[in-house]
């Protein structure tokens, strides 16, 4: 089944799984002057082939060079097909590499974070398989997919319903997703061993801190114009805050009661 298709200058590009193909103009396929067994036409059926698995491997190598060492994170990001989490309206259609180290738009003014930031945040959480993790800001579902590949139990909240629905279809039943206000977390499923926030609140939401286990940890961007990653670490219920990288995330939305 075709994953996607586009038409540029009379050609059509499509993906099947990990491979991208550029097909010849339709007139080449239906022209009465070209026989089906014409080797030249058949050869043109698969040109400019691009193997996304190679791109993932290159991405992982770059992450290692940038200092990422957590093998669980690296292996997961080497398996998750990031190109499937970039929608048709994203920059990918205009020549961007879905595995390049930069954020990509996913619609509704939102983005999927650059691979390094995803890897960095997950590495800082020091996750182990089987832990229970809450994500705030599902977006396209990419980070949740990486968490799922890491073998943790994933709960993710997305305030934009259209994104939540689309992400849910991509992720399948192994990831728990719902539409909701991320400021409230997911109290019915608390406590969580870790929380990762993919959008920036003005300050650390109290509800998220309270939903951590007694030895839980959280990482999130905090701020408006100037943002910084903050790590929240609970040790026997006592909270410690650690400032980290300067970053730039989309703002965290809050539902306003009518």
Alpha carbons 1 and 42: distance in angstroms, whole number:
20
Helix (H, G, I), strand (E, B) or coil at 183: helix
Task: Please compute the mean of the pLDDT values over residues 84-113 and round it to a whole number.
Answer: 77
> Which secondary-structure segment (H or E) carries 136?
strand 132-136
Q: Which residue has the tokens 């705030």?
A: 136
pLDDT digits (tens, 9 = 90+) for 184-231: 999 999 999 999 999 999 999 999 999 999 999 999 999 998 999 999
Residue 9 pLDDT greater than 70, yes or no: no
Which is catalytic among the residues 31, 53, 113, 140?
113
Q: Which residues pair with 64 in a beta bridge?
A: none
The pLDDT value given to residue 86: 84
The pLDDT value given to residue 255: 76
Alpha carbons 24 and 213: distance in angstroms, whole number:
57
Task: Count CA atoms closer than 13 A to 176's CA, side-chain side.
Answer: 14
pTM for this structure?
A: 0.79
pLDDT digits (tens, 9 = 90+) for 127-169: 999 999 999 999 999 999 999 999 999 999 999 999 999 999 9
Pick the CATH number of 53-247 from 3.40.50.150, 3.90.1300.10, 3.30.420.40, 3.40.50.970: 3.40.50.150
Task: Please compute the mean of the pLDDT values over residues 91-100 and round it to a whole number.
Answer: 65
Alpha carbons 38 and 141: distance in angstroms, whole number:
43
- Helix, strand, coil shares of the chain as percentages rounded to 5? 35, 30, 35
CATH code 3.40.50.150 region(s) in the chain: 53-247
If one compares 27 and 101, the residue with the highest pLDDT of the two is: 101
The pLDDT value given to residue 32: 46
Whether 55 is catalytic is no
């Amino acid at each position: 089944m075709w994953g996607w298709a586009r038409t540029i200058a009379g050609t059509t590009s499509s993906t099947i799984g990990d491979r991208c193909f550029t097909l010849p103009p339709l007139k080449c396929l239906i022209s009465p002057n070209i026989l089906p067994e014409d080797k030249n036409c058949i050869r043109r059926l698969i040109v400019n082939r691009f193997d996304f698995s190679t791109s993932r491997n290159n991405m992982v190598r770059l992450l290692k060079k940038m200092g990422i060492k957590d093998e669980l994170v690296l292996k997961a990001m080497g398996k998750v097909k990031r190109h499937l989490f970039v929608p048709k309206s994203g920059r990918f259609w205009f020549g961007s590499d879905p595995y390049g180290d930069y954020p990509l738009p996913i619609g509704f003014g939102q983005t999927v974070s650059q691979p390094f930031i995803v890897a960095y945040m997950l590495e800082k959480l020091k996750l182990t398989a089987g832990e229970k993790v809450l994500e705030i800001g599902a977006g396209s579902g990419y980070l949740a997919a990486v968490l799922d590949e890491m073998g943790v139990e994933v709960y993710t909240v997305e305030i934009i319903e259209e994104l939540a629905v689309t992400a849910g279809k991509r992720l399948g039943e192994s990831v728990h997703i719902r539409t909701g206000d991320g400021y409230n977390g997911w109290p019915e499923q608390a406590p969580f061993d870790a929380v990762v926030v993919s959008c920036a609140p003005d300050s650390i939401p109290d509800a998220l801190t309270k939903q951590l286990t007694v030895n839980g940890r959280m990482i999130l961007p905090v701020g408006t114009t100037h943002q910084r990653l903050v790590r929240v670490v609970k040790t026997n219920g006592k909270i410690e805050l650690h400032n980290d990288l300067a970053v730039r995330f989309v703002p965290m939305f809050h539902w306003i009661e009518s």
